[in-house]
Amino acid sequence: MEDGVKKFLYVNRKAPYGTIYALEALEVVLIGAAFDQDVSLAFLDDGVFQLTKGQDTKEIGVKNFSPTFRALGDYEVTKLYVEKESLDERGLTTDDLQEITYEDEDDDWAEKPSIIIVSRSEMADVMAGQDVILSF
Amino acid sequence: MATLHTVNKSPFETQALLSCLGHAKAGDTVLLIEDGVYGAAGGTALTDAVAGLGGAVTLAVLAPDLKARGIDEGRLMDGVKTVDYAGFVELAASHDRTQNWL
């Protein structure tokens, strides 16, 4: 790791629209992305609901912020860890999640998936490897 | 003397839905709104508990909240009704009281 670069993990555990946590987390990630740190996002518990595809909020009069996740790659936020057990408990599979990709600068701009499915114990390892953890 | 129960919290985060189901009586309707709509999906760790309600209690879900969250109606457990906002009003009017499980 270069000098001054810290590993930041943003932990998302809330569903998208019932509270303001999910939207605020995304705002903080986007602001933080400007500071050239090593950023990862974690989605566990109800946080996995933030990534479902086909969200349509027109009838509840709330901004649909789910397309913003697909822009994270442009901010070099390319590691979105999603916990398998949390998906399973909620009857979800990776097919229920929107496709999020980034272009890998080090590999001739090849388009690669940003979502990384991990087990609960792997998620614990991800958390243990961070310098800073911000929870939402 | 039926009650309309509304639940607005995710069943994976709080016990509100389970507590509501334990207190719903025959003829009552349980309407899942906001983050409560996640409780109506089939194939989850909680589906058996919710399905255990039996036919005497009607389970309904507010469609705009479902749609907002990207949960397709095809995922709902068998027998779950979907209502729009007008349907919500009709449920409130056709029951004797409304109890909100927050």
Tell me: the pLDDT tens digits for B3-18?
999 999 999 999 999 9
The kind and range of the H/E element at B67 are helix B63-68
Q: Find which of B10, B65, B72 to mutate to test the A interface (most A CBs within 10 Å of its CB).
A: B10
Could you tell me if residue A97 is inside a domain? Answer: yes
B12/A60 touch (CB, cutoff 8 Å), yes or no: no
> What CATH number did the domain enclosing A92 receive?
3.40.1260.10
User: CB under 8 Å to B73, separation ≥6 — which residues?
Assistant: B63, B66, B82
CA B3, distance to chain mean position in Å, is 13
Could you tell me if residue A12 is inside a domain? Answer: yes
Q: How many structural domains is chain A composed of?
A: 1
pTM, 2 dp: 0.91
Q: Which chain B residues are Cβ-neighbours of A69 within 8 angstroms? A: none
Could you tell me if residue A2 is inside a domain? Answer: no
Tell me: the pLDDT tens digits for A45-91?
999 999 999 999 999 999 999 999 999 999 999 999 999 999 999 99
pLDDT for A124: 95
Domain range for A127 is: 7-135
- The position carrying tokens 């929870």 is A135
Task: Give A48 to chain B, closest Cα distance, Å.
Answer: 11
pLDDT for B50: 87
- B87 exposure class (CB count in 10 Å sphere: 0-12, 13-18, 19+): middle
> What CATH number did the domain enclosing B84 receive?
3.40.1260.10
Measured between CA atoms, the residue of chain B closest to residue A53 is B70
| ipTM for the complex shown | 0.84
Domain range for B28 is: 3-100
Measured between CA atoms, the residue of chain B closest to residue A54 is B70
Q: How many structural domains is chain B composed of?
A: 1
pLDDT band at A1 (very low <50, low <70, confident <90, very high): low
Could you tell me if residue A1 is inside a domain? Answer: no
Tell me: the pLDDT tens digits for B28-65?
999 999 999 999 999 999 999 888 876 789 999 999 99
Rounded CA-CA distance B35/A105 in Å is 39
Q: Does A120 touch chain B (CB under 8 A)?
A: no
Half-sphere exposure for A32 (CA within 13 Å, toward CB): 22
